[in-house]
Structure 1
């Protein structure tokens, strides 16, 4: 799933830490939008940023 260099980059980051694969997220949300639009529904999605 992750390459070794990616894991090493994440090693120095404080937790909690959330990694989002934007390509996968975009494809998933596009599929939800496409499926729901057939029935007149709209998908709304929010992400929380913890600082």
Structure 2
């Protein structure tokens, strides 16, 4: 089951990559996201940029 998480980030956290933490890279390949409200295609995490 995939859980849809929502993570709020600041502009200072850009560029954005998922997974955000380097120690979580075993979950799925690290990808860079570049839209105003990106959603990871692997884990369905939604990032909201404030």
- Structure whose residues are more often strand by fraction: 2
State the structure with bigger RCO (CA 8 A, min sep 6), 1 or 2.
2
Q: Select the structure that is richer in helix.
A: 1
Q: Which has the larger radius of gyration?
A: 1
TM-score by length of 1: 0.20
* TM-score, normalization by structure 2: 0.20
